[in-house]
Amino acid sequence: MFTGIIAALGKIESLHATGGDIRMTVATHDLDLSDVKLGDSVANSGVCLTVVDMTKATLSFDVSRESLERTSLGSLSSGSEINLEKALAVGDRLGGHFVSGHVDGLGKVIARQESARSVQFRFEVPAGLERYIAEKGSICIDGTSLTVNNVADNWFEVNIIPHTMQETIMSGYKIGTKVNLEVDLIARYLERLLPSGHTSGITRETLLNNGFIK
């Protein structure tokens, strides 16, 4: 489990094919590795991966074909920057929102414009994923916890403050950049709990009829 608060920017040091999968080694730079051990989970641009090897300045992960095909990791190369976050520990501050590190789909940057000192991004979302995204709700983009400012049928917008632009890979986003999206866990599990026939949308009436609100 993660919070979506990026701890450091890493850089892919190497990618090696191993039995059909990829062994990815990441230079961790400012990430504190003093409490990291083999078998721990680390989010790499929002993708939860297991540490299989490490040095004082690098972490290595085995990335499956499933992850390569369903996330942005498959399009990265040596030298690419990624967002890094260690797994949430009991007692840590929860500065963002609960993030599982399981990517729901790939989004795409379709607009970028300056907005005062911030930058406004518009992302296209895969069909079917938009129903989990709500205005002023939480969204995880490449492992970064963000608040949705505007949402439509197949896109949503976020405003990125200068600090976030500086501390994450978002400064490098261009039109067409593909990003890992993870929707809010609450929305996903709430839909799962509803009786069949109510998956086309969640309304106040639906919540009332099923006992979620009074």
In the numeric block, which tokens belong to residue 67?
């992850």
Q: Is the pLDDT of residue 78 over 60?
A: yes
pLDDT band at 195 (very low <50, low <70, confident <90, very high): low
Task: Measure CA 86 to chain center.
Answer: 13
CA 187 to chain centroid, in Å, comes to 16
**In contact, 53 and 38? CB cutoff 8 Å:** yes
**Domain boundaries of the chain, sorted by first residue:** 8-86, 105-190
Question: Cα angle at 88 between 124 and 78, to 5 degrees?
Answer: 55
Torsions phi, psi of 53, nearest 5?
-160, 155
CB 100 within 8 A of CB 206: no
CA distance 30 to 10: 8
Q: What is the pLDDT of residue 192?
A: 72
Reported as a single tens digit per residue, the pLDDT across 131-187 is 899 999 999 999 999 999 999 989 999 999 999 999 999 999 999 999 999 998 887
Residues 13 and 81 sit within 8 Å (Cβ to Cβ): no
- The answer to whether the beta carbons of residues 40 and 53 sit under 8 Å apart is no
> Yes or no: is domain 8-86 CATH 2.40.30.20?
yes
- Look at residue 19 in the predicted model and tell me its pLDDT: 85
Kindly tell me if the per-residue pLDDT of 197 is higher than 60: no
The pLDDT of 109-136, averaged and rounded, is 94
Asked whether residue 36 carries a pLDDT value surpassing 60, the answer given is yes
Domains 8-86 and 105-190 share a fold: yes
pLDDT of residue 190: 75
Q: Which element (helix H / strand E) includes 70?
A: helix 65-70
Helices (H) and strands (E) in the chain, counts: 4, 13
Which class in CATH covers the domain with range 105-190? mainly beta
Output the six-digit token pair for 52.
């299989």
Residues 6+ apart with CB under 8 A from 43: 2, 49, 83, 84, 85, 86, 87, 99, 101, 143
pLDDT at residue 1 greater than cutoff 70 = yes
Say what the pLDDT of residue 111 is.
Answer: 98
